[in-house]
Amino acid sequence: MNEPVLHRVGDKLPLLLQSGEHDLCPGCGEPVALRILLETIAELGMAASTVGVVGIGCYTVFSRTLDVDLVQALHGRAPSVATGVKRMLPDKTVFTLQGDGDMVNEGLQEVLHTAARGENVTCVLLNNGVFGETGGHMTATSVIGQRTKTSLEGRDADYHGYPIVIGDLIARLEGAAYVGRGSVQSAGAVARTKRMMRKAFETQRAAKGFSLVEVLTMCPTGWFVPTAEGPSYMGETLAQVHMMGELKAR
Amino acid sequence: MNEPVLHRVGDKLPLLLQSGEHDLCPGCGEPVALRILLETIAELGMAASTVGVVGIGCYTVFSRTLDVDLVQALHGRAPSVATGVKRMLPDKTVFTLQGDGDMVNEGLQEVLHTAARGENVTCVLLNNGVFGETGGHMTATSVIGQRTKTSLEGRDADYHGYPIVIGDLIARLEGAAYVGRGSVQSAGAVARTKRMMRKAFETQRAAKGFSLVEVLTMCPTGWFVPTAEGPSYMGETLAQVHMMGELKAR
Amino acid sequence: MAHGAGVSETVLVRGTVRIDTEACKGCDLCIPACPPEVLVMSTDVNQTGYRYPELLAGCTGCRACLDVCPDFCFEVFKYDRPIEVAVERR
Amino acid sequence: MAHGAGVSETVLVRGTVRIDTEACKGCDLCIPACPPEVLVMSTDVNQTGYRYPELLAGCTGCRACLDVCPDFCFEVFKYDRPIEVAVERR
Amino acid sequence: MSKRLVEGSEAIADAAIAAGCRFFAGYPMTPFTEVLENFAKKLPAVGGVCVNAESELEAVGMAWGALATGARAATGSTGQGLSLMQESFSEITLAELPLVAFNMARGQGDYFQSTRGGGHGDYRHIVLAPMDITEAVELTQLAFHLADVWRNPVLVQGDYLLAHTAEAVDVAPIDFGPVAPKDWAADGTMSGTGQSRIISPLGIGKRNTPGPGMEAHMQAVADKLARIAAGEARAETGFVDDAEHLVVAFGTPAKFVRYAVRVLRERGLRVGYVRPITLWPFPTEAVAEAATGKRSVLVFEINAGQMVDDVRLAVLGAAPVSSIGGISTDSSGFGVGALLDVEVIAGRIENAVGVAA
Amino acid sequence: MSKRLVEGSEAIADAAIAAGCRFFAGYPMTPFTEVLENFAKKLPAVGGVCVNAESELEAVGMAWGALATGARAATGSTGQGLSLMQESFSEITLAELPLVAFNMARGQGDYFQSTRGGGHGDYRHIVLAPMDITEAVELTQLAFHLADVWRNPVLVQGDYLLAHTAEAVDVAPIDFGPVAPKDWAADGTMSGTGQSRIISPLGIGKRNTPGPGMEAHMQAVADKLARIAAGEARAETGFVDDAEHLVVAFGTPAKFVRYAVRVLRERGLRVGYVRPITLWPFPTEAVAEAATGKRSVLVFEINAGQMVDDVRLAVLGAAPVSSIGGISTDSSGFGVGALLDVEVIAGRIENAVGVAA
Amino acid sequence: MKRVLPPTLSYRMGQTTEREALLTGIGGQGVQLAAEVIARAAVLEGRDVLLFGVYSGVMRGGSSDATVVVADGPVQAPPIISRAWSAIVLHPLSWEAVRARLVSDAVVVVNSSLFDDRVDADRVYEVPATRVATEKLDNPMAVSMVAVGAYVALTGLVALDSAVAAMEESLPSYRRHHAEANAAALRTGAELVDALAAPAWPTVPA
Amino acid sequence: MKRVLPPTLSYRMGQTTEREALLTGIGGQGVQLAAEVIARAAVLEGRDVLLFGVYSGVMRGGSSDATVVVADGPVQAPPIISRAWSAIVLHPLSWEAVRARLVSDAVVVVNSSLFDDRVDADRVYEVPATRVATEKLDNPMAVSMVAVGAYVALTGLVALDSAVAAMEESLPSYRRHHAEANAAALRTGAELVDALAAPAWPTVPA
Ligand SMILES: Cc1ncc(C[n+]2csc(CCOP(=O)(O)OP(=O)(O)O)c2C)c(N)n1
Ligand SMILES: Cc1ncc(C[n+]2csc(CCOP(=O)(O)OP(=O)(O)O)c2C)c(N)n1
Ligand code: SF4
Ligand code: SF4
Ligand code: SF4
Ligand code: SF4
Ligand code: SF4
Ligand code: SF4
Ligand SMILES: [Mg+2]
Ligand SMILES: [Mg+2]
């Protein structure tokens, strides 16, 4: 019998990444979500016709390595920038890459208006319930009881207010055609999230309107947990409120 | 039989108005809503312990005549200003007076964050689906088919996007304790709206969290309809989407 | 008309209104708001050029007009007991 | 243990991975992600001071490890047909 | 093409479209509203897009995106709305995008905002201040040209009068010469090639095509701004040579001043004027030259005194410089106050130079 | 009280609280983040409130509301965040509210933003620029005092180094004297009396208590600003009298410059310095006086050249003014570049005055 | 052709003749239309033109004003005129304010129907515009057109035919049916005065 | 007491003595704690103090640096020092960069355990801090405390007891149990050198 043949079934780097090196923390969920995004773009054959708009957060470091034409937006402003790009390039695929601080704090208005307008772009939210980049402070998506630098004892509704469950909120807007929330908690979650990512971009390609993929990502640094406990801490906190699933599909 | 005696059952001016004169257009619904607000404050005995924060729109002219300590906010910013006031004066009643352009366009983020935070203030929205003050342009609440200066043929979803149904959106936020939507379409509607106004302020007095009273008001000028047709046009357009009723009560 | 003009009838009146006709901007909103339909727009105009409401007999003092008027034109009164008023038949 | 060490067994292997141990930041996420549990953390550290995963026999080429690794350390391969590998009994 | 009677706000939109502008986004605010309305009316007909943005922040963001694709794009507002755009203005300058922005000012109080930049950092916008619609048609087109040539934002500074006056003008495209192809645009065509592009204020490139880095990039932009300062200043002078006194003014008020100077010349007063057409770069040399040997230099602007700083910096003590303008507005705050009157201005000039009025 | 070792960001919060600040709102941004964190930690203990605002726009709005009630309140950010606040900054000045804002700048590029105001209109903020923590403790307290005295916003301008250095300081309350009672505050107590109050940038009052109207109000504020300009300028000078050359610098860089001047004096170079403590009002007289008779005036600032304008305006040609600073940052853009070094600065001074280094 | 802008423009005083007209009335009298008609007529004749309309408080019957400048070269005047050559006064409300902005020998066309006393100015032409519009033309909306007709006849600032053509251009589409009545009003107005009694130009175009 | 600020302050050169210490090492060696200990000890002794720490790329094993200035009057030095009086060098990584910022006769305490060659400087004091910490104290975390102990003994910049007290203050509550081991390390370090071999002050406080 001849030797068995090896087939590569998983590249080290997704097609659209110039390098896998980055200085995000160990156990960070953001690069995992990034792979999902890039693989989807490549698999849908959109590599050469995509423009991305990147917000400001830890993920901003990927601006240097994403092999996609990019516009670096200011903190919170990516959906409007994406609108301008899409209006001038209606045949291209346009996405944003934002964090919860970027999208739900500083830029809440931008994403809601973009969604209500039914703008035919795809926003990708990396939701870790903290401003990772500034050192792990509470954001508008941090859930009650969640530990952050500004809520070391856990977020307290009376003192800090309540989280905004952004995916659900956006799903209520008529202009939103697709909303899905996944996570990178496990390989299974990654696979499910990837299906959502694909649907979101297909929604854009079918010109059905606004799409959002929210990905819950681990931030062991901001949550003050060991990297290995990131996924389970997410499951006990963020994922209890920002519940996973397809929230809207048109 | 002696002469019948007359009792005054309705003052010309609500208690907290220094003058009824104003230069709003004939048939404008905003002064009607204002009366509801002021009568409620007076009837709840809060006259001497209330601070108002006024946004920028046609209603801003009332800054001069409202007999309430006021802070004039910038366009869109009233909820944050109200937050600052309330935090320093937790025993006072604090409200905002805003239009749809102010609250749902320029200031969407402010009101949502204030509501999510569960800030114990009452926001009063005069929703006419247009920027009245700048000449009747479409806003984020204008409904599909509604006539405005920027949508003379009626708002078209494909071209202009979809309206934001703000009361419903805010009602979804945990921090919102009371949300009601009424109108000034008729005397009956005024009475119902006034009950909502009362409940909203009672919610604040009980420190239950954020409250919103949305009042649909006629803007015959921006809608390009005769004043007498304002109420029916509202009924056929705005009120079909921004549906009246109590949306949340805690 | 079958009944000649000038025939007098009695109407029960429970209230009345005082109308600041100079403040009125002629928007017409009070007219359909009045349940007994005792408000009609004038043919004359006020100093600013607007027609304004006039009260016929039969006001109930319900304050609907006051509640819907954008220009704070109404003051509403109720009699402690209804009175009867003779009116020209319309 | 009942069975002495050094006893050899056969394991069915459908795939394998190449691990960029120098890129690894030792986050441990790949370990529980691997369905057949054939990844274990090293005792050694890499140049940056992190422990990294090592592959035992029995990989299925499912790419779960690749999918969850934040540092792009894995390359995954599948054999066109399973092979059998002899391993020391653990 | 023959002349048409056109309002300023319409002429601006027409001129922008003639210059190739294909994207506009704005949020209504008096007296900018009509500029927005005209773009909304006219852009679709030429295959362009005008978005009635939900606020000024959205508007400038959208323009940013459109510019990044290589399109000619613009936004605008009135003082307050532009204040909200300052973060973007600063960073879009560092991103070297050719934004054109229309500031339809309430009064002309916004000289500092326009020329010093309200945002953080060292950025500057080229600021063009037309005095009337005829000039606005030209300068609007020039704005798009300069923006592309320099890859730097250009602000066109108008006001209530410019927006609401009509003039007979001919809005024909002006050829200012070629500009470099926009091979920097992020239009998706380089995605996946290993040479993909990034438009960023941070001076970064990609792993495969690295940028200069933060400090070097900021320095490069500063150097570029210095070149603009050296080469793009524009001004108009009149009656300067034999003048004893000089008046400096810009924008619509300058048209009043010029007329007042004519009137005063007829009355025998030896007065001249210089009118900065670019507020940044400020025409330092033209002002300095015109001021040489004058007995007084008077600055007329409708604000508490802002451009007067730049005039002093130009004159540098060679002649006494004083302000003869001031705050002037109607009660709405949008409109025109009592100072915008040729006789009032002539009176102030006479007063300042010691002629009994 | 004895001295403690305190980081700048903590010292600022401590000093603000010692001055009676009871409200703070902010949004994290390096290097301002730690200032916010310290307020969040410390305000509750004194019965105050710190809100982790959802963005800079919310933060400044909240501060506005708190101020309107008569409380001492503050906000702050870093260049970009402050850019977003410019609309509010302009209008809050017209509303005559005593805001204190902390600008923890990245570099010191924001001189124009701070002193010219990025917003529309004619407003100015008093800008205090401490060179170290000891001075920050004093100037932070002074900021609240001046804000109340003038009913005008005061900006405290720090930077990365100020926030992240620790010094042994004693944060004791400083008594700057009484301020007028805040009988203008909108605290609800006048509601329903017929004499209710309004805090508005528009110069309006109420029907029963009318305001001056837009133009008169703007003029009144401009007049007030002129009085501030005339009375509140502060500076420090050193080694000026016998100096042949003068260096001007502010903030942390000025501490480097002062040290460099000492070093150069030891090397025999006759150089002095002047350090504006208030950036607005700019200490024009102090600079002009110090510059008198000097062979050169050198301006060192960590930006492409901003304060140099004000120095030129002060010196007005009496001595040649040149820039010896420049853009200088680490790769993150937040931190400290190579120019902040005593030897580098000393070398630039020597170079500029023609001494072989 | 490629345009190169010189860094410093030198302004030279032109030989242009400029004719300013201030129009004043109250809301509803058609002042803005009147100004537009004059301005457009001048454009049709190849003149340079400036038009600035201000109307305040229309709702409350406030005054409505407009400024037109017609010139035989680039207009030098700014949009607000301190010394105007002429005026069309449809209502007394703002007459005093307008008078203050006229040159001493200004041409003033006055709607005499609404003035009790004679208007005191050097070159006043009384035109009973309201009466003519109401009584003769049975068209109360045409007051301003009557006055404009008279004004252009008197001054020849623009030709009457140009005014008629301009009026048609100026009407929004939903008011096109007023064109005929307006034309009649213009012509009627013209007949109320002596042609070219106060000529605007040295030589009036044929 | 009411404070009145004069508009123009006049700076007079003081007679202060300032002693600068640059500390350098790599992440995990405790450089920041070491700097804080010296700074706090000086504060305890009533000195004026400046402390500035920079640490970059700690995750990737980058260098960790800090600057301390101790003075007998208001500190004149800015937070970044070009000419320092002394250095504590725990690791060779950034030694060259530090050396460039020292005065020619600077006092340099070197963790000789990690240097292969002798450090070339005028007043070098070799302290085998890593070896002592690991072998003698069985406390590899204590490297920096050993070095600080040696440094303060050598220089008397602060008294050893002050350093011990300052160390206790500097530990976060969840690390208080390290206090004793750290104190031992400080004292051990002090014993490795000759007391006051390189005095910081003209007269060292008792
Ligand atoms: C206007 C503005 N405000 C604040 C900041 C500072 N800032 C940079 S990143 C960031 C938080 C990012 O949070 P998120 O988007 O959730 O991303 P993460 O860091 O969690 O990945 C903040 C507040 C900024 N860059 N711009
Ligand atoms: C920052 C800013 N942008 C724009 C404006 C101009 N503006 C004034 S009022 C207004 C619209 C108000 O609309 P709304 O709140 O719905 O009130 P309405 O006029 O309908 O009563 C706008 C856009 C402004 N004042 N400030
Ligand atoms: S701080 Fe959180 S989000 Fe940022 S890189 Fe670290 S783990 Fe990831
Ligand atoms: S424009 Fe509309 S909202 Fe404004 S006063 Fe007129 S009717 Fe009311
Ligand atoms: S009070 Fe009632 S019944 Fe009387 S006029 Fe008013 S609406 Fe009619
Ligand atoms: S509702 Fe008021 S304003 Fe309108 S017509 Fe009646 S009285 Fe007049
Ligand atoms: S490919 Fe699958 S089986 Fe193989 S090591 Fe990775 S996770 Fe385990
Ligand atoms: S998931 Fe990646 S980085 Fe984490 S331990 Fe495994 S190989 Fe290393
Ligand atoms: Mg986040
Ligand atoms: Mg509205």
pLDDT tens digit string along C57-88?
Answer: 999 999 999 999 999 999 999 999 999 988 87
Q: Per the structure block, which two tokens stand in for H108?
A: 């340099």
Residue E206 lies in a domain: no
Tokens of H145: 């405390």
Q: How many CB atoms lie within 10 A of CB G63?
A: 23
Establish whether residue A128 lines the binding site of ligand 3, counting it when its CB lies within 6 angstroms of any ligand atom.
Answer: yes
Q: What is the pLDDT of residues F20-55, one digit of tens each?
A: 999 999 999 999 999 999 999 999 999 999 999 999
pLDDT for the residue numbered H105 = 93
Neighbours of E (≥3 Cβ pairs closer than 8 A)? A, B, F, G
Q: Residue E286 belongs to a domain with what CATH number?
A: 3.40.50.920
E119, E136, E169 — which closes off a domain? E169
Considering the domain architecture, whether residues F143 and F280 belong to the same structural domain is answered as no
Of the pLDDT bands very low, low, confident and very high (cuts 50, 70, 90), residue G57 is very low
Last residue of a domain, one of E135, E151, E169: E169
- The mean pLDDT of chain H is 89
CA distance E249 to E259: 12
Percent of chain F clearing pLDDT 90 (strictly above): 91
Distance between CA atoms of residues E121 and F304, nearest Å = 9
Q: Given CB atoms, is H60 within the 8 Å cutoff of chain A?
A: yes
- Mean pLDDT within B192-212: 98
Instruction: Supply the mean pLDDT for chain D.
Output: 90
Model pLDDT, residue E315: 96
Instruction: List the helix and strand counts (H, then E) for chain F.
Output: 13, 15
List chains touching H (3+ CB pairs under 8 A).
Answer: A, D, F
Q: Which two tokens stand for residue E189?
A: 């065509």
For chain C, give every domain's residue range.
Answer: 7-89
- Nearest residue to B183 (alpha-carbon basis) of B108, B129, B114: B129
Closest Cα to residue E340, out of G52, F222, G81?
Answer: G81
Query: Do the beta carbons of residue F312 and residue E316 sit within 8 Å?
Result: yes
Lowest-confidence region among C35-39, E48-52, G11-15: G11-15
* Nearest Cα residue in chain C from G28: C49
Closest-CA residue of chain A to F28 = A134
Nearest CA in chain B to A109: B109
Overall number of domains in chain E: 2
**Mutation to probe ligand 5, out of C76, C78, C79, C83 (largest number of atoms < 8 A from CB):** C76
Q: Of A21, A22, A23, A25, which is best to mutate to test ligand 3, by the most ligand atoms within 8 angstroms of its C-beta?
A: A25
Rounded to the nearest angstrom, the distance between the alpha carbon of E41 and the centre of ligand 2 is 21
Chains B+A touching (3+ CB pairs under 8 Å): yes
| DSSP state at residue H67 | E
Number of the ligand closest to the Cα of B135: 4
Q: How confident is the model at residue C2 (pLDDT cuts 50, 70, 90)?
A: very low
Pocket of ligand 5 (CB under 6 A): C 15, 17, 33-36, 38-39, 55, 59-65, 76
Asked whether the beta carbons of G204 and G156 are under 8 A apart, the reply is yes
Residue of G nearest to C23 (CA): G60
Point out which residues pair with G106 in neighbouring strands: none
Give distance in angstroms: CA of B135 to centre of ligand 2.
10
Q: What is the mean pLDDT of chain B?
A: 96
Average of per-residue pLDDT values in chain F: 94
Contact: E206, A51; criterion CB under 8 Å: no
Nearest of F8, F264, F269, F256 to residue F156 by alpha carbon:
F8
> Is residue H173 packed enough to be buried (19+ CB in 10 Å), middle (13-18) or exposed (0-12)?
exposed
Q: How far apart are the C-alpha atoms of D36 and D38, rounded to whole Å? A: 6
pLDDT at D13 over 60: yes
pLDDT, tens digit, for every residue of H52-82?
987 654 444 578 899 999 999 999 999 999 9
Longest dimension (CA), chain G: 61
pLDDT, mean of residues B179-203 = 98
Mention the CATH class of domain B30-132+165-216+243-249. alpha beta
Which H residues 58-97 touch D at CB under 8 Å? 60-61
Nearest residue of C to residue G62 by CA position? C48
In a 3-state reduction of DSSP, which class is residue H36? helix
Burial class (CB in 10 A: 0-12, 13-18, 19+), E231: exposed
Mean pLDDT, rounded, of chain C: 90
How far apart are the CA of D67 and the centre of ligand 7, in A? 10
Q: Which is it for strands A176-183 and A245-249: parallel, antiparallel or unpaired? A: antiparallel
The CATH number of the structural domain formed by C7-89 is 3.30.70.20
Q: Give the pLDDT confidence score for residue H59 in this predicted structure.
A: 43
> What's the pLDDT band for D2 if we cut at 50, 70, 90?
very low
My answer on whether F155 and F16 are in the same domain is yes
Pairs of CB atoms within 8 A across B/C: 102
Q: CA–CA separation, B230 vs B220, rounded Å?
A: 5
Exposure letters G81-109 (e unless 16+ CB within 10 A, then b): bbbbbbbbbbbbbbbeebbebbeeebbbb
A143 touches chain E (CB under 8 A): no
Q: What is the pLDDT of residue G15?
A: 75
Beta-carbon contacts below 8 Å between E and F: 154
- Give tens-digit pLDDT for B79-121: 999 999 999 999 999 999 999 999 999 999 999 999 999 999 9
Q: A75-79, A187-191, E326-330, F296-300: lowest mean pLDDT where?
A: E326-330
Q: Do B113 and A162 touch (CB under 8 A)?
A: no
**Over the stretch F185-231, which tens digit does the pLDDT of each residue have?**
999 999 999 999 999 999 999 999 999 999 999 999 999 999 999 99
Residue A175 pLDDT greater than 60, yes or no: yes
Report how far residue G68's alpha carbon sits from residue G49's, in angstroms, rounded to the nearest whole number.
7
Inter-chain touch A88–E201, beta carbons under 8 Å: no
A-chain residues within 8 Å CB-CB of F55?
76, 105-106
Residues F38 and F35: their CA atoms lie apart, in Å, by 5
Beta-carbon separation of F277 and H9 below 8 A: yes
CA neighbor of F208 nearest in space, from D58, B141, B66: B66
Least confident of B122-136, E63-77, G58-72: G58-72
Instruction: Please determine, for residue H4, whether its predicted confidence score (pLDDT) is greater than 80.
Output: no
CA-to-CA dists, residue E42 to D88, E24, E49, G170, angstroms: 79, 10, 9, 19
Instruction: Report the CATH number that the domain containing residue E113 is assigned in CATH.
Output: 3.40.50.970
Residue bearing tokens 């020209």: C88
Cα of B128 vs centre of ligand 10, distance in Å, is 5
> What is the share, in percent, of chain H residues with pLDDT greater than 70?
91
Chains C+E touching (3+ CB pairs under 8 Å): no
Taking only the tens of pLDDT, chain E with its 357 residues reads 589 999 999 999 999 999 999 999 999 999 999 999 999 999 999 999 999 999 999 999 999 999 999 999 999 999 999 999 999 999 999 999 999 999 999 876 789 999 987 667 788 999 999 999 999 999 999 999 999 999 999 999 999 999 999 999 999 999 999 999 999 999 999 999 999 999 999 999 999 999 999 999 999 999 999 999 999 999 999 999 999 999 999 999 999 999 999 999 999 999 999 999 999 999 999 999 999 999 999 999 999 999 999 999 999 999 999 999 999 998 877 778 999 999 999 999 999 998 754
- Which positions in chain G touch C48 (Cβ < 8 Å)? 60-61
Q: Which residues of B fall within a CB distance of 8 Å from F197?
A: 69-70
SS3 E14: helix
- Pairing mode of beta strands B93-99, B50-54: parallel
Please report which ligand is nearest the Cα atom of B57: 2
Q: What spacing in Å lies between the alpha carbon of H57 and ligand 8's midpoint?
A: 20
Q: Check E237 against G50: CB less than 8 A apart.
A: no
Nearest to G136 by CA among G128, G126, G125: G128
Q: Considering the domain boundaries, does residue F43 fall inside one?
A: yes
Chain F environment of B47 (Cβ under 8 Å): 191-192
- The domain of F286 spans 236-353
- Chain A positions touching H60 (Cβ under 8 A) are 23
Ligand nearest to the CA of D78: 7
pLDDT greater at residue F334 or residue H68: H68
pLDDT at residue H202 in the model? 85
Question: Taking all residues of chain A, what is their mean pLDDT, rounded to a whole number?
Answer: 96
Residue F231 domain-assigned?
Answer: no
Residue type, D81: R
- Confirm or reject contact between A169 and chain F (CB < 8 A): no
Q: Which of E169, E128, E177, E164 is nearest to E15 (CA)?
A: E169
Confidence (pLDDT) at H57: 44
* Per-residue pLDDT tens digits for E268-300: 999 999 999 999 999 999 999 999 999 999 999
pLDDT of residue G9: 78
Amino acid at A155: R
Q: Phi-psi region for residue E73, left (φ > 0), alpha (ψ -120 to 50) or beta? A: beta
- For residues A34 and H27, the model is more confident at A34
CA nearest to E147, candidates E184, E114, E99, E185 = E99
b/e sequence C41-68, b meaning 16+ C-beta within 10 Å? beeeebeeebbbbebbbbbbbbbbbbbb
Model pLDDT, residue H56? 56
Return the pLDDT at B151: 86
Q: Terminal CA-to-CA distance of chain F, rounded, Å?
A: 46
Chain E interface includes F237 (CB < 8 A): no
How close E237 comes to chain G (CA, Å)? Answer: 5
Q: What is the pLDDT of residue G61?
A: 53
**Interface predicted TM-score of the whole assembly (ipTM), two decimals:** 0.96
Q: Which residues of F touch H52 (CB under 8 A)?
A: 161, 164-166
Which residues, in sequence order, are CB contacts of G131 under 8 Å at separation 6+? G113
Structure tokens at F343: 């030897």
Which residues 6+ apart lie within 8 Å of C57 measured at CB?
C11, C13, C38, C85, C87
Nearest chain A residue to E75 by CA: give it.
Answer: A84
User: Does residue G83 contact residue G67 with C-beta atoms inside 8 Å?
Assistant: no
Determine the pLDDT at residue G1: 42
CA distance linking residue F159 with residue F130, whole number of Å: 10
C-alpha B41/C-alpha E171 separation (Å) is 57
Mean pLDDT estimate for chain G? 89
Nearest CA to H90 out of H49, H133, H59 is that of H133
Of A102, A59, A64, A58, the closest CA to residue A81 belongs to A102
A106 has pLDDT over 80? yes
Question: In the prediction, which pLDDT does C4 show?
Answer: 47
Of E62, E66, E198, the CB nearest to A70: E198
Decide if pLDDT at H37 tops 60: yes
One domain for residues E139 and E49: yes
CATH of domain H2-205: 3.40.920.10
Average pLDDT rounded to a whole number, residues H140-154 = 95
Please give the share of chain G, as a percent, with pLDDT higher than 70. 91
Asked whether A107 lines ligand 1 (CB < 6 A), one says: no
DSSP 8-state class, residue G174: G
Q: What pLDDT is recorded for position E335?
A: 77
